[in-house]
Amino acid sequence: MTEFTADPPVPPGPPRQRPAAIRAVPLRHPWRWVAAVLVVLILAGVVDTFITAPYLRWSVVGQYLFDDRILEACVVTLYLTAIAMAVGVTLGVLLAVMRLSPNRVMSSVSWLYIWFFRGTPVLVQLFFWFSIADILPYLSIGIPFTHVMVQASTNTLITPLLAAILGLGLNEAAYMAEIVRAGIISVDHGQTEAAQALGMRRPQVMRRIVLPQAMRVIVPPTGNETISMLKTTSLAYIVTLHELFFVSQEISFFNYRVIEMLIVASIWYLVMSSILTVFQYYIERHFARGAVRGLPPTPIQRLRRMLFQFHAVPPFGSDAEPDVEPWLPPAPPHSGM
């Protein structure tokens, strides 16, 4: 009987001497220096103009940066971001699955939702939820043709926070639906077929096979959406929610330092979005498993490598940089970390 095997590999020839590594004189790039100096000068000019603006009181910025009202407002901004994104992601996944459903009614309703909420400004939607009591003074849930029902005044039900959550969350769902849909579509159809061939049911295929792989495509734009949401929460000032922008403006009504208070708010927005960026990086790294051979380095690993390699660039062809795992540099003995 024949074994289905390949031919034995050809034995290698006699080892050849390796030529010396190339040590050439590097090419100079004078225009890079000119461009760099120019850009730095322009930047310095702009920064100087603003920092030394005659009526700008930096002391006011310092005075209010850690004001209790500002810190509390930061917390409000953060949890509004979290809740609005949670609503957006949950509803977005639902809408995406509906949109891809073979049921025509489902996909049409989803399309209509996305069309409506993407087509109207979020500021308008926020104000709509805030003012809904004008047209619906009472909200009630009950069984038709009976007197069994629960009723509540819209004004007490729709607080500024709820209006903000509805306005931002429902709007976000429309965008998330498109992101999730793109992620689901990006998964090779062979995956669905393989899972179906094993006898998996539709919801199982979606939950166990398709969505985990779609995450790799879904997570990066979702991170962007979250950072975007952090800043969009400032629109909730229109529903009188005491978030960061509203509070900083409120304070400036009393101290007349509008720009200083905007700087205070901006510093906190920058701090919070920077923290979110770091989170985003690690989450993306987590979902890259199975998609790349080695994981990309964490910022700390990258910093360590940069410090290490800046001083000692390994010569070409040396063993200092292995090819097997290009993402994970060899740990230097004393890297200062």
Partner 1 sequence: MATPMVRAESVHKSFGRNEVLRGIDIEVAPREVMCIIGPSGSGKSTFLRCINHLEKIDAGRLWVDGELVGYQERGGRLHELPDREVCRKRSEIGMVFQGFNLFPHMTALENVIEAPVRVKKEAAAVATERGRALLDRVGLGDKMDAHPRQLSGGQQQRVAIARALAMQPKLMLFDEPTSALDPELVGDVLNVMRDLAHEGMTMIVVTHEMGFAREVGDSLVFMDSGMIVEAGTPRDVIGNPQQQRTKDFLSKVL
Residue 78 touching partner 1 (CB under 8 A):
no
* Residue 293 found at the interface with partner 1 (CB under 8 A): yes
Q: Does 213 bind partner 1 (CB under 8 A)?
A: yes
Three-state secondary structure call for residue 280 = helix
CB hemisphere CA count around 221 (13 angstroms)? 15
CA–CA gap between residue 222 and residue 283 (Å, rounded) = 11
**Of the candidate residues 12, 26, 102, 290, the single one contacting partner 1 (CB under 8 A):** 290
How many residues contact partner 1, by CB under 8 A? 30
The answer to whether the CB of 281 falls within 8 A of the CB of 108 is no
The correct pick among 20, 51, 105, 197 for binding partner 1 (CB under 8 A) is: 197
139 membership: H or E segment, kind and range: strand 138-142
65 near 267, Cβ under 8 Å? yes
Least distance to partner 1, CB of residue 196, Å: 6
Closest distance to partner 1 from the beta carbon of 13 (Å): 20
* CB of residue 96 to partner 1, shortest distance in Å: 19
Q: Which is nearer to partner 1, 165 or 210 (CB)?
A: 210
Q: Check: CB of residue 87 under 8 Å from CB of residue 165.
A: yes
Return d(Cα 276, Cα 176) in angstroms, integer: 18
Residue 311 in contact with partner 1, rule: CB under 8 A: no
Judge residue 36's burial from the number of C-beta atoms within 10 Å of its C-beta, 0-12 exposed, 13-18 middle, 19 or more buried: exposed
Q: Give the relative orientation of helices 244-255 and 68-99 as an angle to the nearest 10 degrees.
A: 150
CB nearer partner 1, residue 312 or residue 324: 324
Question: Binding partner 1 by CB under 8 A: which of 57, 69, 118, 201?
Answer: 201
Two structure tokens written together for 285? 């790294």
SS3 141: strand
294: Cβ–Cβ under 8 A, 6 or more apart, which residues? 325, 326, 327, 328
Considering only 4, 55, 66, 253, the residue that binds partner 1 (CB under 8 A) is 4
Q: Considering only CA atoms, which of 278, 320, 324 is closest in space to residue 303?
A: 278
Q: Which span sits near partner 1 by CB under 8 A: 46-54, 74-82, 285-293, 309-317?
A: 285-293
Residue of the chain from 65, 83, 132, 200 that contacts partner 1 (CB under 8 A):
200
Q: Which of 154, 159, 204, 277 binds partner 1 (CB under 8 A)?
A: 204
* 6 versus 148: smaller Cβ distance to partner 1: 6
Cα separation, 274 vs 262, in Å, equals 18
Q: Least Å distance between CB 117 and partner 1?
A: 31
Determine if 10 is a binding residue for partner 1 (CB under 8 A): no
| Minimum distance of partner 1 from residue 66's CB (angstroms) | 44
Rounded (10°) angle between helices 160-186 and 122-130: 140
Tell me: does residue 101 bind partner 1 (CB under 8 A).
no
Q: Is 190 in the site for partner 1 (CB under 8 A)?
A: yes
The least CB distance from residue 206 to partner 1, in Å, is 12
Task: Give the one residue of 69, 118, 208, 286 binding partner 1; rule: CB under 8 A.
Answer: 208
Distance CA 112, CA 138 (A): 27
Q: Which of 57, 69, 118, 202 binds partner 1 (CB under 8 A)?
A: 202
User: Residue numbers of the site for partner 1 (CB under 8 A)?
Assistant: 1-7, 188, 190-191, 193-202, 204, 208-209, 212-213, 289-293
